[in-house]
């Protein structure tokens, strides 16, 4: 081998030490060759029905303060997909989250309708309403948080054939997930922990919720268990935008 290198060097094919390999390299849409990275994402849903439950005091809060407090305390970056209606309900909190460099604010529509039918019982919206959902959520989130959102997650992950182009035409990039936490309506913390651990992978995007209440009652407990385990397995937490080249985000959807 030394002889070969000497011969190549003599031919000036090797003129300098080999450059170090980049810290990570995308091999295909959702995988990287080094550094186990994982993005925690939390959706802040809000529908007219959820608002009603607040008004009637059947639900006291749709904001999981315990979860955010934990992420803050342990300096865990996360991407937060806010609906416009959630930000209108919690403007002070939305602003504080946007000011916190730990968090990335993303868009989850205005009122959380289904862009396809059926979609987990969500109300279906037509094309004009879809445009309004995208335009209005962007405007509301900008007005409240100061952030012009660029990442978008379809409510329920439901989308029709032309919706991706529509979303892109509004200056938004659709983002899905690769790891389903199953925290929605789950009363069992252990099952959420197991769901994530069994699917955890390098370049993964975990979908969970920051609503608490009856819709996601065990998310904080599960995350508190998951974070130390994932760290012990060598994962580092990143924001979605740090995880992948922006054009690949859509591909990382089940
Ligand atoms: Zn949602």
Sign of CA dihedral 208, 209, 215, 218: positive
CA distance 75 to 36: 18
Within-domain flag for 231: yes
Residue 218 CA to ligand 1 centre (angstroms): 16
What is the extent of the structural domain holding 177?
28-251
Within-domain flag for 4: no
Answer with the residue of higher pLDDT: 70 or 252. Answer: 70
Within-domain flag for 3: no
Residue 124 CA to ligand 1 centre (angstroms): 14
Answer with the residue of higher pLDDT: 9 or 67. Answer: 67
Within-domain flag for 172: yes
Residue 113 clears pLDDT 70, i.e. is over it:
yes
Residue 4 clears pLDDT 90, i.e. is over it:
no
Encoding tokens for residue 9?
Answer: 């060097």
Within-domain flag for 197: yes
Within-domain flag for 178: yes
Encoding tokens for residue 211?
Answer: 């609503």
What is the predicted pLDDT for the residue at 89?
98
Within-domain flag for 13: no
Residue 140 CA to ligand 1 centre (angstroms): 17
Per-residue pLDDT of 24-52, as tens digits, reads: 334 444 554 456 999 999 999 999 999 99
What is the predicted pLDDT for the residue at 20?
30
Q: What are phi and psi of 191, to 5 degrees?
A: -70, -35
Residue 18 clears pLDDT 70, i.e. is over it:
no
DSSP letters, 65-104, are: HHHHHHHHHTT--EEEEE-HHHHHHSHHHHHHHHH-TTEE
Name the pairing type of β-strands 31-32 and 26-28: antiparallel
Sign of CA dihedral 50, 56, 58, 63: positive
CATH code for the domain in which residue 163 is found: 3.20.20.370
Per-residue pLDDT of 155-174, as tens digits, reads: 999 998 899 999 999 999 99
Count of domains observed in the chain? 1
Task: Provide the pLDDT confidence category of residue 244 given band limits of 50, 70 and 90.
Answer: low
Within-domain flag for 9: no
Residue 142 CA to ligand 1 centre (angstroms): 19
Residue 127 clears pLDDT 60, i.e. is over it:
yes
Residue 86 clears pLDDT 90, i.e. is over it:
yes
Task: Name the burial class of residue 118, with classes exposed (0-12), middle (13-18) and buried (19+) by CB atoms within 10 angstroms of its CB.
Answer: exposed
Residue 43 CA to ligand 1 centre (angstroms): 5
Can you tell me the mean pLDDT for 107-132? 96
Residues having C-beta closer than 5 Å to ion ligand 1: 43, 45, 155
Residue 153 CA to ligand 1 centre (angstroms): 8
Give kind and range of the element (H or E) at residue 27.
strand 26-28
What is the predicted pLDDT for the residue at 27?
40
């Amino acid at each position: 081998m030394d002889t070969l290198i000497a011969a190549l060097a003599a031919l000036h094919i090797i003129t300098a030490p080999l450059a170090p390999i980049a810290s990570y390299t995308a091999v295909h849409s959702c995988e990287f060759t080094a550094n186990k990275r994982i993005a925690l994402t939390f959706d802040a849903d809000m529908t007219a029905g959820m608002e009603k439950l607040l008004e009637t005091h059947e639900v006291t809060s749709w904001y999981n303060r315990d979860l955010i407090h934990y992420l803050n305390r342990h300096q865990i970056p996360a991407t937060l997909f806010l609906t416009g209606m959630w930000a209108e309900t919690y403007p002070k909190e939305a602003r504080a989250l946007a000011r916190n460099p730990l968090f990335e604010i993303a868009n989850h529509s205005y009122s959380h309708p289904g862009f396809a039918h059926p979609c987990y019982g969500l109300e279906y919206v037509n094309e004009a309403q879809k445009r309004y959902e995208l335009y209005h959520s962007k405007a509301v989130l900008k007005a409240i948080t100061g952030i012009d959102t660029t990442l978008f997650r379809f409510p329920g992950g439901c989308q029709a054939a032309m919706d991706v182009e529509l979303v892109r035409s509004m200056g938004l990039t659709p983002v899905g997930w690769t790891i389903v936490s199953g925290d929605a309506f789950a009363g069992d913390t252990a099952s959420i922990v197991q769901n994530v651990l069994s699917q955890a992978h390098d370049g993964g995007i975990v979908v969970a919720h920051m609503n608490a209440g009856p819709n996601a009652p065990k998310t904080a407990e599960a995350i508190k268990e998951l974070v130390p385990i994932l760290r012990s397995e060598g994962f580092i937490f990143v924001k979605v935008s740090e995880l992948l080249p922006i054009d690949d985000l859509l591909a990382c959807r089940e």
